[in-house]
Amino acid sequence: MTSASSGPPAGPPRLGRQPSTSQAELSHIALQLFIEHGFDATTIDDIAARAGIGRRTFFRYFPSKNDLPWGDFDSLLDRMRDHLHSLPAGLSLVEALRAAVIEFNRFPQEEVPYHRQRMDLLLNVPTLVAHSTLRYASWRQVVAEYAGQRLGVPEDSLQPQAIAWTYLAVSLAAYEQWLKNDDADLIALLDSAFELLDTTFDPRHDGP
Amino acid sequence: MTSASSGPPAGPPRLGRQPSTSQAELSHIALQLFIEHGFDATTIDDIAARAGIGRRTFFRYFPSKNDLPWGDFDSLLDRMRDHLHSLPAGLSLVEALRAAVIEFNRFPQEEVPYHRQRMDLLLNVPTLVAHSTLRYASWRQVVAEYAGQRLGVPEDSLQPQAIAWTYLAVSLAAYEQWLKNDDADLIALLDSAFELLDTTFDPRHDGP
DNA sequence: GATACTAATGACACCGAGTGCCGAATGGAA
DNA sequence: TTCCATTCGGCACTCGGTGTCATTAGTATC
Protein backbone atom coordinates (compact mmCIF):
# COMPACT_ATOMS: atom_id res chain seq x y z
CA MET A 1 0.00 0.00 0.00
CA THR A 2 2.80 2.36 0.85
CA SER A 3 5.60 0.43 -0.77
CA ALA A 4 7.08 0.34 -4.29
CA SER A 5 10.27 2.32 -4.49
CA SER A 6 9.78 5.00 -7.11
CA GLY A 7 11.05 5.00 -10.67
CA PRO A 8 9.26 3.32 -13.55
CA PRO A 9 9.38 -0.48 -13.30
CA ALA A 10 10.26 -0.47 -16.99
CA GLY A 11 8.02 -3.47 -17.58
CA PRO A 12 4.73 -2.69 -19.35
CA PRO A 13 5.25 0.79 -20.85
CA ARG A 14 2.54 2.45 -18.80
CA LEU A 15 -1.07 2.49 -19.92
CA GLY A 16 -3.87 4.96 -19.38
CA ARG A 17 -3.85 8.39 -17.84
CA GLN A 18 -0.79 9.56 -15.91
CA PRO A 19 -1.02 10.07 -12.18
CA SER A 20 -1.07 13.76 -11.41
CA THR A 21 1.01 13.52 -8.27
CA SER A 22 2.75 10.97 -6.06
CA GLN A 23 2.83 9.64 -2.53
CA ALA A 24 6.13 11.35 -1.93
CA GLU A 25 4.87 14.71 -3.10
CA LEU A 26 1.71 14.53 -1.03
CA SER A 27 3.64 13.40 1.99
CA HIS A 28 5.95 16.34 1.56
CA ILE A 29 3.20 18.89 1.13
CA ALA A 30 1.30 17.52 4.07
CA LEU A 31 4.32 17.55 6.33
CA GLN A 32 4.84 21.22 5.58
CA LEU A 33 1.24 22.02 6.41
CA PHE A 34 1.35 19.94 9.58
CA ILE A 35 4.38 21.81 10.81
CA GLU A 36 2.90 25.13 9.81
CA HIS A 37 -0.60 24.78 11.23
CA GLY A 38 -0.55 21.62 13.29
CA PHE A 39 -1.77 18.17 12.41
CA ASP A 40 -5.32 18.50 13.66
CA ALA A 41 -5.86 21.91 12.17
CA THR A 42 -4.86 20.66 8.73
CA THR A 43 -7.72 19.07 6.82
CA ILE A 44 -7.57 16.73 3.89
CA ASP A 45 -9.14 19.47 1.83
CA ASP A 46 -6.24 21.75 2.68
CA ILE A 47 -3.76 19.16 1.53
CA ALA A 48 -5.66 18.26 -1.61
CA ALA A 49 -6.10 21.91 -2.49
CA ARG A 50 -2.41 22.64 -2.03
CA ALA A 51 -1.54 19.64 -4.17
CA GLY A 52 -4.02 20.68 -6.81
CA ILE A 53 -6.02 17.47 -6.69
CA GLY A 54 -9.51 16.58 -5.60
CA ARG A 55 -10.29 15.36 -2.14
CA ARG A 56 -11.40 12.04 -3.52
CA THR A 57 -8.15 11.62 -5.34
CA PHE A 58 -6.15 12.11 -2.17
CA PHE A 59 -7.54 8.89 -0.80
CA ARG A 60 -6.20 7.00 -3.79
CA TYR A 61 -2.68 7.94 -2.75
CA PHE A 62 -3.04 7.51 0.99
CA PRO A 63 -5.51 5.37 2.89
CA SER A 64 -5.71 7.88 5.70
CA LYS A 65 -4.45 11.20 6.92
CA ASN A 66 -2.49 9.36 9.58
CA ASP A 67 -0.39 7.60 7.00
CA LEU A 68 0.99 10.79 5.52
CA PRO A 69 3.98 11.26 7.81
CA TRP A 70 5.08 7.69 7.26
CA GLY A 71 5.61 8.06 3.57
CA ASP A 72 7.06 4.92 2.11
CA PHE A 73 7.84 2.91 5.21
CA ASP A 74 7.51 -0.53 3.69
CA SER A 75 10.55 -0.11 1.51
CA LEU A 76 12.58 0.80 4.59
CA LEU A 77 11.37 -2.43 6.13
CA ASP A 78 12.50 -4.33 3.08
CA ARG A 79 15.92 -2.81 3.46
CA MET A 80 16.11 -3.86 7.08
CA ARG A 81 15.05 -7.39 6.22
CA ASP A 82 17.76 -7.62 3.60
CA HIS A 83 20.34 -6.12 5.88
CA LEU A 84 19.54 -8.60 8.63
CA HIS A 85 20.03 -11.55 6.34
CA SER A 86 23.28 -10.21 5.02
CA LEU A 87 24.90 -9.99 8.43
CA PRO A 88 27.82 -12.32 9.18
CA ALA A 89 26.74 -15.56 10.83
CA GLY A 90 29.31 -15.01 13.55
CA LEU A 91 27.16 -12.46 15.27
CA SER A 92 24.90 -13.63 18.07
CA LEU A 93 21.21 -12.93 17.70
CA VAL A 94 21.25 -9.93 19.99
CA GLU A 95 24.34 -8.53 18.33
CA ALA A 96 22.79 -8.94 14.90
CA LEU A 97 19.55 -7.29 15.89
CA ARG A 98 21.32 -4.47 17.60
CA ALA A 99 23.40 -3.81 14.52
CA ALA A 100 20.44 -4.00 12.18
CA VAL A 101 18.24 -1.75 14.24
CA ILE A 102 20.96 0.84 14.45
CA GLU A 103 21.58 0.59 10.75
CA PHE A 104 17.86 0.96 10.12
CA ASN A 105 17.91 4.28 11.90
CA ARG A 106 20.92 5.72 10.19
CA PHE A 107 20.02 8.50 7.80
CA PRO A 108 22.07 10.71 5.49
CA GLN A 109 23.05 13.93 7.21
CA GLU A 110 20.83 16.06 5.00
CA GLU A 111 17.74 14.00 5.77
CA VAL A 112 18.11 14.17 9.51
CA PRO A 113 16.20 17.43 10.11
CA TYR A 114 13.41 16.13 7.91
CA HIS A 115 13.35 12.83 9.74
CA ARG A 116 13.31 14.65 13.02
CA GLN A 117 10.21 16.59 12.12
CA ARG A 118 8.43 13.49 10.99
CA MET A 119 9.27 11.67 14.18
CA ASP A 120 8.32 14.67 16.23
CA LEU A 121 4.84 14.44 14.80
CA LEU A 122 4.68 10.69 15.06
CA LEU A 123 5.69 10.63 18.71
CA ASN A 124 3.84 13.70 19.92
CA VAL A 125 0.54 14.04 18.10
CA PRO A 126 -1.82 11.68 19.93
CA THR A 127 -3.66 10.57 16.82
CA LEU A 128 -0.37 9.69 15.20
CA VAL A 129 1.09 8.09 18.29
CA ALA A 130 -1.88 5.78 18.25
CA HIS A 131 -1.86 5.08 14.55
CA SER A 132 1.87 4.43 14.47
CA THR A 133 1.34 1.31 16.50
CA LEU A 134 0.02 -0.33 13.38
CA ARG A 135 3.21 0.47 11.52
CA TYR A 136 5.37 -0.72 14.35
CA ALA A 137 3.63 -4.05 14.04
CA SER A 138 5.17 -4.56 10.60
CA TRP A 139 8.53 -3.58 11.96
CA ARG A 140 8.21 -6.09 14.78
CA GLN A 141 7.20 -8.69 12.27
CA VAL A 142 10.53 -8.30 10.48
CA VAL A 143 12.45 -8.67 13.71
CA ALA A 144 10.38 -11.61 14.91
CA GLU A 145 10.85 -13.42 11.59
CA TYR A 146 14.58 -13.17 11.88
CA ALA A 147 14.66 -14.06 15.56
CA GLY A 148 12.41 -17.05 15.05
CA GLN A 149 14.64 -18.28 12.28
CA ARG A 150 17.80 -17.86 14.31
CA LEU A 151 16.27 -19.55 17.34
CA GLY A 152 14.67 -22.31 15.34
CA VAL A 153 11.23 -21.64 16.75
CA PRO A 154 8.00 -20.38 15.15
CA GLU A 155 8.12 -16.63 14.64
CA ASP A 156 4.81 -16.20 16.42
CA SER A 157 5.95 -17.93 19.59
CA LEU A 158 6.77 -16.14 22.78
CA GLN A 159 10.50 -15.62 22.50
CA PRO A 160 10.73 -14.06 19.02
CA GLN A 161 7.73 -11.92 19.77
CA ALA A 162 9.11 -10.79 23.10
CA ILE A 163 12.41 -9.97 21.46
CA ALA A 164 10.73 -8.00 18.70
CA TRP A 165 8.64 -6.10 21.20
CA THR A 166 11.68 -5.38 23.29
CA TYR A 167 13.77 -3.98 20.46
CA LEU A 168 10.90 -1.77 19.47
CA ALA A 169 10.51 -0.62 23.05
CA VAL A 170 14.15 0.28 23.43
CA SER A 171 14.21 2.07 20.09
CA LEU A 172 11.23 4.19 21.01
CA ALA A 173 12.75 5.10 24.34
CA ALA A 174 15.84 6.28 22.50
CA TYR A 175 13.77 8.23 20.00
CA GLU A 176 11.95 10.04 22.76
CA GLN A 177 15.24 11.20 24.21
CA TRP A 178 16.47 12.21 20.80
CA LEU A 179 13.46 14.44 20.24
CA LYS A 180 13.83 16.05 23.63
CA ASN A 181 17.27 17.31 22.83
CA ASP A 182 17.98 19.36 19.75
CA ASP A 183 21.57 18.32 19.32
CA ALA A 184 21.35 14.73 20.50
CA ASP A 185 22.76 11.95 18.35
CA LEU A 186 20.19 9.30 17.56
CA ILE A 187 22.69 6.55 16.90
CA ALA A 188 24.50 7.19 20.16
CA LEU A 189 21.21 7.15 22.05
CA LEU A 190 20.15 3.89 20.47
CA ASP A 191 23.48 2.43 21.32
CA SER A 192 23.35 3.37 24.97
CA ALA A 193 19.74 2.23 25.19
CA PHE A 194 20.76 -1.22 24.00
CA GLU A 195 23.63 -1.11 26.41
CA LEU A 196 21.18 -0.46 29.24
CA LEU A 197 19.21 -3.48 28.19
CA ASP A 198 22.26 -5.64 28.81
CA THR A 199 23.21 -4.12 32.14
CA THR A 200 19.68 -3.79 33.51
CA PHE A 201 18.78 -7.39 32.93
CA ASP A 202 22.17 -8.84 33.69
CA PRO A 203 21.50 -11.33 36.50
CA ARG A 204 24.97 -10.69 37.91
CA HIS A 205 24.12 -7.08 38.42
CA ASP A 206 21.93 -7.08 41.49
CA GLY A 207 20.87 -3.63 42.42
CA PRO A 208 19.74 -1.11 43.09
CA MET B 1 -11.84 10.82 33.21
CA THR B 2 -12.11 7.10 33.64
CA SER B 3 -11.25 6.89 37.31
CA ALA B 4 -13.23 7.21 40.53
CA SER B 5 -14.03 3.84 42.03
CA SER B 6 -17.80 3.56 42.40
CA GLY B 7 -19.88 3.95 45.51
CA PRO B 8 -21.25 7.26 46.80
CA PRO B 9 -18.52 9.41 48.33
CA ALA B 10 -20.98 10.09 51.18
CA GLY B 11 -19.87 13.72 51.25
CA PRO B 12 -22.34 16.23 49.76
CA PRO B 13 -25.69 14.42 49.58
CA ARG B 14 -25.91 14.57 45.77
CA LEU B 15 -27.51 17.50 44.01
CA GLY B 16 -29.44 17.81 40.77
CA ARG B 17 -30.75 15.14 38.45
CA GLN B 18 -29.47 11.58 38.81
CA PRO B 19 -27.31 10.06 36.11
CA SER B 20 -29.35 7.61 34.12
CA THR B 21 -26.55 5.10 33.63
CA SER B 22 -22.87 4.60 34.42
CA GLN B 23 -19.53 4.02 32.75
CA ALA B 24 -19.54 0.43 33.91
CA GLU B 25 -22.98 -0.26 32.50
CA LEU B 26 -22.19 1.30 29.15
CA SER B 27 -18.90 -0.52 28.97
CA HIS B 28 -20.70 -3.76 29.64
CA ILE B 29 -23.44 -3.19 27.10
CA ALA B 30 -20.92 -2.14 24.48
CA LEU B 31 -18.70 -5.13 25.07
CA GLN B 32 -21.65 -7.42 24.47
CA LEU B 33 -22.49 -5.67 21.23
CA PHE B 34 -18.88 -5.70 20.09
CA ILE B 35 -18.63 -9.43 20.63
CA GLU B 36 -21.98 -10.00 19.00
CA HIS B 37 -21.60 -7.87 15.88
CA GLY B 38 -17.99 -6.79 15.84
CA PHE B 39 -16.45 -3.51 16.90
CA ASP B 40 -16.68 -1.71 13.59
CA ALA B 41 -20.21 -2.81 12.86
CA THR B 42 -21.42 -1.46 16.19
CA THR B 43 -22.26 2.24 16.10
CA ILE B 44 -22.56 4.67 18.96
CA ASP B 45 -26.25 4.89 18.17
CA ASP B 46 -26.58 1.15 18.68
CA ILE B 47 -24.98 1.39 22.08
CA ALA B 48 -26.91 4.45 23.14
CA ALA B 49 -30.17 2.90 21.98
CA ARG B 50 -29.48 -0.30 23.86
CA ALA B 51 -28.65 1.70 26.98
CA GLY B 52 -31.74 3.83 26.56
CA ILE B 53 -29.88 7.10 26.40
CA GLY B 54 -29.33 9.70 23.73
CA ARG B 55 -26.34 9.70 21.50
CA ARG B 56 -25.15 12.98 22.96
CA THR B 57 -25.38 11.62 26.45
CA PHE B 58 -23.11 8.73 25.58
CA PHE B 59 -20.25 11.11 25.04
CA ARG B 60 -20.65 12.42 28.55
CA TYR B 61 -19.76 8.98 29.88
CA PHE B 62 -17.01 8.11 27.43
CA PRO B 63 -14.82 10.42 25.41
CA SER B 64 -14.73 7.99 22.51
CA LYS B 65 -15.93 4.65 21.28
CA ASN B 66 -12.39 3.38 21.63
CA ASP B 67 -12.40 3.92 25.35
CA LEU B 68 -15.30 1.60 25.97
CA PRO B 69 -13.37 -1.65 26.34
CA TRP B 70 -10.98 -0.06 28.81
CA GLY B 71 -13.62 0.74 31.37
CA ASP B 72 -12.03 2.16 34.48
CA PHE B 73 -8.35 1.68 33.77
CA ASP B 74 -7.06 4.56 35.83
CA SER B 75 -8.07 3.00 39.11
CA LEU B 76 -6.14 -0.12 38.14
CA LEU B 77 -3.13 2.08 37.59
CA ASP B 78 -3.58 3.59 41.02
CA ARG B 79 -3.58 0.12 42.46
CA MET B 80 -0.36 -0.74 40.70
CA ARG B 81 1.29 2.45 41.88
CA ASP B 82 0.34 1.67 45.44
CA HIS B 83 1.44 -1.91 45.13
CA LEU B 84 4.83 -0.88 43.82
CA HIS B 85 5.48 1.42 46.72
CA SER B 86 4.41 -1.18 49.24
CA LEU B 87 6.96 -3.74 48.07
CA PRO B 88 9.79 -4.69 50.45
CA ALA B 89 12.91 -2.61 49.90
CA GLY B 90 14.97 -5.76 49.72
CA LEU B 91 13.82 -6.44 46.18
CA SER B 92 15.97 -5.22 43.33
CA LEU B 93 14.37 -2.91 40.83
CA VAL B 94 13.81 -5.60 38.26
CA GLU B 95 12.45 -7.98 40.85
CA ALA B 96 10.06 -5.34 42.14
CA LEU B 97 8.79 -4.45 38.70
CA ARG B 98 8.38 -8.04 37.73
CA ALA B 99 6.35 -8.71 40.85
CA ALA B 100 4.21 -5.63 40.43
CA VAL B 101 3.48 -6.23 36.77
CA ILE B 102 2.46 -9.77 37.48
CA GLU B 103 0.28 -8.67 40.34
CA PHE B 104 -1.28 -6.03 38.10
CA ASN B 105 -2.41 -8.74 35.73
CA ARG B 106 -3.86 -11.08 38.31
CA PHE B 107 -7.63 -11.21 38.15
CA PRO B 108 -10.25 -13.09 40.14
CA GLN B 109 -11.12 -16.38 38.47
CA GLU B 110 -14.62 -15.26 37.58
CA GLU B 111 -13.40 -12.15 35.81
CA VAL B 112 -10.91 -13.95 33.61
CA PRO B 113 -13.25 -14.78 30.70
CA TYR B 114 -14.48 -11.21 30.71
CA HIS B 115 -10.94 -9.88 30.80
CA ARG B 116 -10.01 -12.18 27.99
CA GLN B 117 -12.72 -10.86 25.73
CA ARG B 118 -11.74 -7.31 26.43
CA MET B 119 -8.10 -8.01 25.69
CA ASP B 120 -9.05 -9.93 22.60
CA LEU B 121 -10.69 -6.80 21.25
CA LEU B 122 -7.91 -4.52 22.41
CA LEU B 123 -5.18 -6.59 20.80
CA ASN B 124 -6.95 -7.59 17.60
CA VAL B 125 -9.20 -4.79 16.42
CA PRO B 126 -6.88 -2.40 14.57
CA THR B 127 -8.64 0.73 15.76
CA LEU B 128 -8.32 -0.43 19.33
CA VAL B 129 -4.78 -1.66 18.95
CA ALA B 130 -3.90 1.84 17.87
CA HIS B 131 -5.89 3.64 20.50
CA SER B 132 -4.60 1.45 23.30
CA THR B 133 -1.16 2.93 22.85
CA LEU B 134 -2.44 6.03 24.55
CA ARG B 135 -3.50 4.03 27.57
CA TYR B 136 -0.24 2.14 27.69
CA ALA B 137 1.47 5.49 27.98
CA SER B 138 -0.11 6.01 31.39
CA TRP B 139 0.91 2.55 32.40
CA ARG B 140 4.50 3.22 31.36
CA GLN B 141 4.41 6.45 33.27
CA VAL B 142 3.72 4.56 36.49
CA VAL B 143 6.61 2.20 35.85
CA ALA B 144 8.98 4.98 34.83
CA GLU B 145 8.14 6.99 37.92
CA TYR B 146 9.05 4.11 40.16
CA ALA B 147 12.16 3.19 38.22
CA GLY B 148 13.37 6.77 38.17
CA GLN B 149 12.90 6.99 41.89
CA ARG B 150 14.74 3.74 42.55
CA LEU B 151 17.60 4.69 40.26
CA GLY B 152 17.81 8.24 41.50
CA VAL B 153 17.46 9.72 38.04
CA PRO B 154 14.74 11.83 36.41
CA GLU B 155 11.78 9.69 35.38
CA ASP B 156 11.89 11.06 31.86
CA SER B 157 15.51 10.10 31.28
CA LEU B 158 16.59 7.23 29.11
CA GLN B 159 16.93 4.42 31.59
CA PRO B 160 13.55 4.64 33.36
CA GLN B 161 11.83 5.18 30.06
CA ALA B 162 13.59 2.26 28.44
CA ILE B 163 12.72 0.07 31.39
CA ALA B 164 9.08 1.12 31.28
CA TRP B 165 8.91 0.48 27.56
CA THR B 166 10.54 -2.89 27.98
CA TYR B 167 8.17 -4.11 30.66
CA LEU B 168 5.26 -3.05 28.53
CA ALA B 169 6.75 -4.82 25.55
CA VAL B 170 7.25 -8.07 27.41
CA SER B 171 3.77 -7.93 28.89
CA LEU B 172 2.19 -7.47 25.51
CA ALA B 173 4.16 -10.34 24.06
CA ALA B 174 2.83 -12.52 26.86
CA TYR B 175 -0.72 -11.30 26.32
CA GLU B 176 -0.56 -12.17 22.65
CA GLN B 177 0.40 -15.72 23.50
CA TRP B 178 -2.31 -15.89 26.10
CA LEU B 179 -4.97 -14.92 23.60
CA LYS B 180 -3.74 -17.43 21.09
CA ASN B 181 -4.34 -20.31 23.42
CA ASP B 182 -7.70 -20.87 25.07
CA ASP B 183 -6.38 -22.58 28.14
CA ALA B 184 -3.13 -20.73 28.62
CA ASP B 185 -2.28 -19.22 31.98
CA LEU B 186 -1.56 -15.52 31.76
CA ILE B 187 0.52 -15.37 34.91
CA ALA B 188 2.70 -18.26 33.80
CA LEU B 189 3.20 -16.64 30.42
CA LEU B 190 4.17 -13.33 31.95
CA ASP B 191 6.56 -15.13 34.20
CA SER B 192 8.34 -16.96 31.43
CA ALA B 193 8.39 -13.83 29.30
CA PHE B 194 10.28 -12.03 32.05
CA GLU B 195 12.50 -15.03 32.39
CA LEU B 196 13.36 -14.77 28.71
CA LEU B 197 14.32 -11.17 29.22
CA ASP B 198 16.97 -12.25 31.70
CA THR B 199 18.35 -15.09 29.62
CA THR B 200 18.21 -13.34 26.25
CA PHE B 201 20.13 -10.31 27.39
CA ASP B 202 22.46 -12.11 29.74
CA PRO B 203 25.93 -11.20 28.44
CA ARG B 204 27.26 -14.56 29.66
CA HIS B 205 24.86 -16.34 27.38
CA ASP B 206 26.37 -16.00 23.93
CA GLY B 207 24.31 -17.74 21.37
CA PRO B 208 22.74 -18.76 19.23
C1' DG C 1 -46.55 23.52 48.41
C1' DA C 2 -44.15 27.12 45.55
C1' DT C 3 -39.66 28.63 44.28
C1' DA C 4 -34.73 28.64 43.36
C1' DC C 5 -30.87 26.15 42.29
C1' DT C 6 -28.08 22.24 40.38
C1' DA C 7 -26.94 18.73 37.39
C1' DA C 8 -27.99 15.50 33.74
C1' DT C 9 -30.42 14.79 29.44
C1' DG C 10 -31.27 14.89 24.58
C1' DA C 11 -32.35 17.32 20.29
C1' DC C 12 -30.16 19.99 16.63
C1' DA C 13 -26.74 21.55 13.82
C1' DC C 14 -22.23 21.20 12.43
C1' DC C 15 -17.37 19.40 11.19
C1' DG C 16 -14.01 16.21 9.33
C1' DA C 17 -12.46 11.49 7.95
C1' DG C 18 -13.37 7.93 4.99
C1' DT C 19 -16.17 5.16 1.18
C1' DG C 20 -19.08 3.75 -2.91
C1' DC C 21 -20.46 5.11 -7.24
C1' DC C 22 -20.04 6.83 -11.78
C1' DG C 23 -19.26 9.76 -15.49
C1' DA C 24 -15.48 12.56 -17.46
C1' DA C 25 -10.68 13.32 -18.64
C1' DT C 26 -6.26 11.70 -20.39
C1' DG C 27 -3.02 8.90 -22.06
C1' DG C 28 -1.06 4.84 -25.15
C1' DA C 29 -2.04 1.25 -28.63
C1' DA C 30 -4.40 -0.61 -32.78
C1' DT D 1 -9.47 7.95 -35.42
C1' DT D 2 -11.00 4.42 -32.50
C1' DC D 3 -10.43 1.53 -28.56
C1' DC D 4 -9.06 0.71 -24.11
C1' DA D 5 -6.88 1.36 -19.68
C1' DT D 6 -6.36 4.18 -15.90
C1' DT D 7 -6.83 8.13 -13.26
C1' DC D 8 -9.59 11.96 -11.78
C1' DG D 9 -13.08 14.33 -9.23
C1' DG D 10 -17.78 15.35 -8.03
C1' DC D 11 -21.70 13.73 -5.25
C1' DA D 12 -23.94 11.65 -1.71
C1' DC D 13 -23.62 9.06 2.33
C1' DT D 14 -22.02 7.02 6.98
C1' DC D 15 -19.97 7.55 11.28
C1' DG D 16 -17.35 9.61 15.19
C1' DG D 17 -17.11 13.61 17.76
C1' DT D 18 -18.32 18.62 19.49
C1' DG D 19 -20.82 23.06 20.71
C1' DT D 20 -25.14 24.96 22.03
C1' DC D 21 -29.26 25.22 24.46
C1' DA D 22 -33.70 24.31 26.09
C1' DT D 23 -35.76 20.69 29.03
C1' DT D 24 -36.13 17.49 32.77
C1' DA D 25 -35.46 15.71 37.33
C1' DG D 26 -33.83 16.08 41.32
C1' DT D 27 -32.44 18.85 46.20
C1' DA D 28 -32.67 22.77 49.31
C1' DT D 29 -35.07 26.94 50.92
C1' DC D 30 -38.85 29.69 52.18
Q: Say yes or no to pLDDT of B1 above 50.
A: no
Q: What is the CATH number of the domain that holds B60?
A: 1.10.10.60
- The answer on A76 and A47 residing in a single domain is no
Q: What is the CATH number of the domain that holds B156?
A: 1.10.357.10
Interface of A with B in 189-208 (CB under 8 A): 189, 192-193, 196-198, 200-204, 206-208
- The answer on A60 and A40 residing in a single domain is yes
Could you tell me if A165 lies within 8 Å of chain B, comparing CB atoms?
yes
Please tell me the predicted confidence (pLDDT) of residue A205. 58
CA of A157 to C1' of D23 (A): 58
- C-alpha separations of A4 from A64, A72, A76, B165 in Å: 18, 8, 10, 32
Range of the domain at A60: 23-68
- The answer on B61 and B79 residing in a single domain is no
Q: What is the pLDDT of residues B6-36, one digit of tens each?
A: 333 444 567 889 999 999 999 999 999 999 9
- The answer on B117 and B55 residing in a single domain is no
3-state secondary structure string, chain B?
A: CCCCCCCCCCCCCCCCCCCCCCHHHHHHHHHHHHHHHCCCCCCHHHHHHHHCCCHHHHHHHCCCHHHHHHCCHHHHHHHHHHHHHCCCCCCCHHHHHHHHHHHHCCCCHHHHHHHHHHHHHHHHCHHHHHHHHHHHHHHHHHHHHHHHHHHCCCCCCHHHHHHHHHHHHHHHHHHHHHHHCCCCCHHHHHHHHHHHHHHHCCCCCCCC
Q: Considering its fold, how many domains does chain B have in total?
A: 2
- The answer on B191 and B102 residing in a single domain is yes
- The answer on A105 and A48 residing in a single domain is no
Longest pairwise C-alpha distance within chain B: 67
Q: What number is the ipTM of this complex?
A: 0.90
- The answer on B126 and B99 residing in a single domain is yes
Contact B192 A133 (CB under 8 A): no
Q: What is the pLDDT of residues A30-58, one digit of tens each?
A: 999 999 999 999 999 999 999 999 999 99
Tens place of pLDDT for every residue, chain A, 208 residues? 333 333 334 445 678 899 999 999 999 999 999 999 999 999 999 999 999 999 999 999 999 999 999 988 888 999 999 999 999 989 999 999 999 999 999 999 999 999 999 999 999 999 999 999 999 999 999 999 999 999 999 999 999 999 999 999 999 999 999 999 999 999 999 999 999 999 988 766 554 4
Residues of B in contact with A196 (CB under 8 A): 158-159, 162-163
